C-alpha cells in the first residue's frame, strides 16, 4: 500500500513548479495525487492500541466506535473526497530534505498558501481560475538560479529584481500548468481510496482540539495512522506515517471557500506584459 503522506508531498512539490524555465522552485515532478500520501509521518499511536473511542453518529448509522478499522476508513475516505475544499498543513521529506506545506485548495483548481523546502526558501502561491500569483524569497530565487546553472552576476540581478516580489502569470499559460494541476483537490484526495483490510481501530484522540479516532494501517514506508473526526462528518483530520520516511499532514477548513484575492501590491510583475521570451531570467 502506497503511503498517502508521500503522495501529498510530491503533489505539493509539483504545485510549486512552473514550467518553461520561468521558475525552478521546489524540485520534483510529482502529481497532486501525491499530496495526501507523503504528508503522513511522526507521532503515530501504537498499532496494538485498540481502546474504543466515543463517536458521533455516522452517515450509515451508529458511531465510529462501533465499526471496524476498514469500515471507519472507508467512510472517512468517502467523506473527505466529497469535500469541496480543504486546507492542508504538512511536514514531510522531499528528496531527503525537510518540506513545510501550508495550502488551501478546492475542486475548482483554486489555491492559496506557501511551500518551504530546505535549501530552496519559501514560495507563496495564489491561484484563481484566471491568474497565478507567486512570490519567492531570496533563497528561493537563488535556489532556482542554481538549478539553472545561472552565472553569479545573473543570479544576483534576479534576486535583486524578484526576491519577495509578487509575479503574475495567466492560469492558461502553459508554464503554469504544473501549479494549475496541483491545486486541484480532486487530485489531492484521489489517493483516498480503498481501506486496507488490516486497518485497526486505535484509541480516542484529539486533533487541533477536535475529537478523533486513530486507525492504523500497514503502508509501503511503514505504519500509517489516520485520525478520523468523530464529531460531524468523519473527515480525515490528520495522517501520519512512521518507518522509512517521516511526515505528517493535517487537514482542516473543509468546504471553506479559498481566498483567491489578488495581492494588493502595486509592484506586481506581470509576466504577460514583458517583451521577448519570458522566463529566461533563470
Q: What is the DSSP letter of 224?
A: E
**Amino acid 53: pLDDT:** 39
What is the tally of structural domains in the chain?
1
pTM, two decimal places: 0.76
The predicted-structure confidence for 77-115, as pLDDT tens digits, reads as follows: 999 999 999 999 988 877 777 889 899 999 999 999 998
- Do the domain assignments include residue 278? no
The predicted-structure confidence for 47-75, as pLDDT tens digits, reads as follows: 333 333 344 545 555 688 889 999 999 99
Residue 185 pLDDT exceeds 50: yes
Residue 13 pLDDT exceeds 70: no
- Do the domain assignments include residue 192? yes
- Do the domain assignments include residue 241? yes
**Amino acid 201: pLDDT:** 96
- Do the domain assignments include residue 279? no
**Main-chain phi, psi angles of 81, to 5 degrees:** -65, -30
CATH number, position 44: 2.50.20.20
State the pLDDT confidence band at 232, using cuts at 50, 70 and 90.
very high
Provide, rounded to the nearest whole percent, the portion of the chain with pLDDT above 70.
Answer: 74
Rounded distance between C-alpha atoms, residue 248 and residue 241, angstroms: 7
- Do the domain assignments include residue 49? yes
- Do the domain assignments include residue 71? yes
- Do the domain assignments include residue 276? no
Strand stretches in the chain, DSSP E: 85-94, 97-106, 111-117, 121-127, 131-136, 167-170, 200-207, 210-219, 222-229, 236-243, 247-252, 269-270
State the pLDDT confidence band at 193, using cuts at 50, 70 and 90.
confident
**Amino acid 108: pLDDT:** 92
Residue 281 pLDDT exceeds 70: no
- Do the domain assignments include residue 153? yes
Residue 197 pLDDT exceeds 80: yes
Q: What range does the domain containing 223 cover? A: 4-271
Amino acid at each position: 500500500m502506497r503511503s498517502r503522506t508521500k503522495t501529498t508531498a510530491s503533489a505539493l512539490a509539483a504545485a510549486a513548479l512552473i514550467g518553461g524555465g520561468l521558475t525552478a522552485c521546489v524540485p520534483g515532478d510529482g502529481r497532486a495525487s501525491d499530496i495526501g500520501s507523503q504528508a503522513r509521518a511522526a507521532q503515530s499511536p501504537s498499532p496494538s492500541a485498540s481502546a474504543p473511542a466515543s463517536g458521533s453518529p455516522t452517515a450509515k448509522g451508529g458511531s465510529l466506535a462501533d465499526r471496524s478499522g476498514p469500515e471507519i476508513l472507508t467512510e472517512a475516505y468517502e467523506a473527505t473526497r466529497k469535500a469541496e475544499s480543504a486546507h492542508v498543513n504538512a511536514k514531510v521529506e522531499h528528496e531527503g530534505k525537510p518540506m513545510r506545506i501550508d495550502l488551501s485548495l478546492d475542486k475548482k483548481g483554486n489555491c492559496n498558501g506557501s511551500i518551504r523546502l530546505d535549501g530552496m526558501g519559501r514560495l507563496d502561491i495564489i491561484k484563481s481560475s484566471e491568474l497565478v500569483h507567486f512570490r519567492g524569497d531570496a533563497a528561493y530565487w537563488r535556489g532556482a538560479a542554481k538549478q539553472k546553472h545561472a552565472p553569479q552576476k545573473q543570479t544576483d540581478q534576479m534576486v535583486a529584481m524578484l526576491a519577495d516580489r509578487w509575479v503574475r502569470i495567466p492560469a492558461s499559460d502553459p508554464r503554469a500548468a504544473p501549479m494549475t494541476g496541483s491545486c486541484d483537490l480532486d487530485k489531492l484526495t484521489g489517493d483516498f481510496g480503498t481501506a486496507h483490510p488490516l486497518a485497526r481501530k486505535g484509541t480516542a484522540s484529539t486533533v487541533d482540539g477536535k475529537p478523533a479516532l486513530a486507525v492504523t494501517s500497514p503502508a509501503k514506508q511503514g505504519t500509517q495512522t489516520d485520525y478520523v473526526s468523530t464529531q460531524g462528518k468523519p473527515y480525515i483530520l490528520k495522517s501520519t506515517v512512521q518507518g522509512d520516511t517521516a511526515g505528517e499532514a493535517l487537514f482542516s477548513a473543509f468546504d471553506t471557500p479559498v481566498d483567491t484575492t489578488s495581492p494588493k501590491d502595486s509592484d506586481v510583475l506581470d509576466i504577460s506584459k514583458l517583451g521577448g521570451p519570458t522566463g529566461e531570467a533563470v
